[in-house]
Amino acid sequence: MAVPATKLKEKKEIIDVGLEEGAARLTYERIEQVINRVITAEMAARMKVYVDTCIHCGLCSTACHYYLSHGTPEWAPVGKVKQTMWEILEKKGKVSPEFIKRASIIASTECNVCRRCSMYCPYGIDVAYIMATVRRICHLLGVTPQYIQDTAHSHSATMNQMWVKEDEWIDTLQWQEGEAQAEMPSLRIALDKEGADIMYSVIGPEPKFRAQLIYQAAILMTAAGVDWTMPASPGWDNSDMAMFTGDFEMMGRIKRTHFETAAKLRVKKIVMGECGHAFRSVYDVGNRWLGWKMPPIPVIHATQFYYELLKEGKIKIARKLKEPVTLHDPCNIVRGRGLHEMMRYLVNATCENFVEMYPNREQNHCCCAGGGVINCGPPWKTKRVESNSIKAEQLAATGVHICIAPCHNCHGGLEDIINTYKLNMHTMFFIDVLMKTMEIPDALKA
């Protein structure tokens, strides 16, 4: 395996029309007005606590994969806060359009809001919250990277992140159902089945690019004998890039659609596919913006669902993967939900040779794709990959060729790292592993 490249020499200027055009429209007056409105009407007391509490010790630095990959202070979490929120507060919003553009770049492309740094801060300061507030200000000023803004627009128009039209969604489910029936004739992807036990929801990229994941989920559900349904209307997508652009009003609308779709179907539980940020949006952020303390319909991430199916004996493992595998702990379901031991149970149940990467569990390094960073699109790809050489080193040190990563953004980010640093690995979702290892009852086979 190749040794990862390290240390960027210098920051290259990246042109993003969303930032350039957005900043060109700004006036000093508008910037000041918007910032002061956010400060007085939206910022929670915790922002003041965080700002007043930080002792500038820099212990957060070594938590951050950007800092570990580049090695200079401006990449440290405290450095990013210094360049953005401290300046904004100190100048009471009297900052320039160029400053706002730079703040948007830092908040949207140099921080994955992964929350690893909070664990290294002696006071537990939530830098992700600070960066999310910077993004909120940039959203309200119309200075957001083009591609993630386009994704937020897709959410607003279609309630999914990939501009998938309503007929395309249903047609894709029927297509996958037809394909899967060749393998399992009794299989059915029941659309809008009121009173089913479970609503299965996915993210926009699944019908758009990774339809096989829907096929595989249908195989799993059928093998496990689960009473499940998928909605035939908007509300099927649990993802939420509006959460990451700072368009909280749109985030709330997306989450309302998702939960009300489930409530209308009278399901008892929502099981969502292997996506991390979507879990954060339904379990933590979006539901709470709407006034729900917890999800009004219980939501579990796919990994917890697989774990429960295995523990309850509803699915059985016929054979284990022989190849050595490692496991990447996604931020939003590990630091955000604590599913790491369930995932290890899954790996050990399905794989003969599990090689931990170090650090792991809640200490794991982020993929550098999450938090909306990969959604900022092609202009930012090289920077994103170069900003995570530490991840490449971490992956390379395992010496294995398979990395299980139960999160869509992690998949995208890790694949880019693997390809760039020539790590000779490939990623798998847990559902990919289960399809290779799970027992399919004879009665269900074609």
Partner 1 sequence: MSESKKWDWDTSEELIATPSEWKTKFARVQEPYVSPDGKKVAAIARNEDGTYTACVNGEAWENTYENMWNLRFGPDGRLTAIVSEAGEWTLAVDGVPWENKFAYVWDTKFNEDGQTIAVKIQQDTRYGLAVNDQPWENLFEHIGKYVMTPDGQYMAAAVQAVPLGQAEVFKFKDEGTWTVAVNGNAWEKIFTNVWGLDCSPDGKHVAAEVRMGLYDYTIAMDGEMWPEKFNCVWEPVFRPKTSEALATAPVRAAGKWTLAVNGKPVWDSKFVQCWHQTYSPDGRKLAAIVAPSFGQWTVAIDGKLWATTFNELVTDLTFSPDGNRLAAIAKDDGHWKIVVDGTPWPAMYDMVWPPVFSPDGSKVASKVEKGGKYTIALNGKPWRECEALWNPVFSPDGKKVLVRCIEDGKYYRRIVPISEF
Q: Kindly list the residues in this chain that would bind partner 1 in the complex (CB under 8 A).
A: 17-18, 21, 41-42, 139-140, 142, 146-147, 149-150, 153, 156-158, 165-167, 170-171, 174, 186, 188, 190-193, 195, 232-234, 247, 249, 252-253, 256, 260, 263, 266, 268, 288, 290-294, 296-298, 377
Report CA-CA distances (Å) from 164 to 24, 169, 171, 218, 409.
32, 6, 11, 20, 18
Which 3 state secondary structure label does DSSP give 221? helix
Please count the CA atoms within 13 angstroms of the CA of 202 that sit on its side-chain side. 26
CA 445 to CA 249: how far, in whole Å?
Answer: 47
**Single-letter amino acid code for the residue at 259:** F
Query: DSSP state, 337?
Result: T
Q: How near is the Cβ of 196 to partner 1 at its closest, in Å? A: 9
Q: How near is the Cβ of 370 to partner 1 at its closest, in Å? A: 21
Which 3 state secondary structure label does DSSP give 343? helix
CB nearer partner 1, residue 186 or residue 348: 186
- Sign of CA pseudo-dihedral 22, 23, 27, 33: positive
CA 144 to CA 146: how far, in whole Å?
Answer: 6
Residues paired with 272 in a beta bridge: 201, 301
**Cis peptide bond upstream of 4, omega within 30:** no
Q: How near is the Cβ of 165 to partner 1 at its closest, in Å? A: 6
CB nearer partner 1, residue 16 or residue 393: 16
Tokens 């779709």 correspond to 261
Tokens 């809640």 correspond to 362
CB nearer partner 1, residue 52 or residue 291: 291
Residues 6+ apart with CB under 8 A from 279: 238, 272, 299, 301, 332, 333, 336, 337
CA 115 to CA 113: how far, in whole Å?
Answer: 6
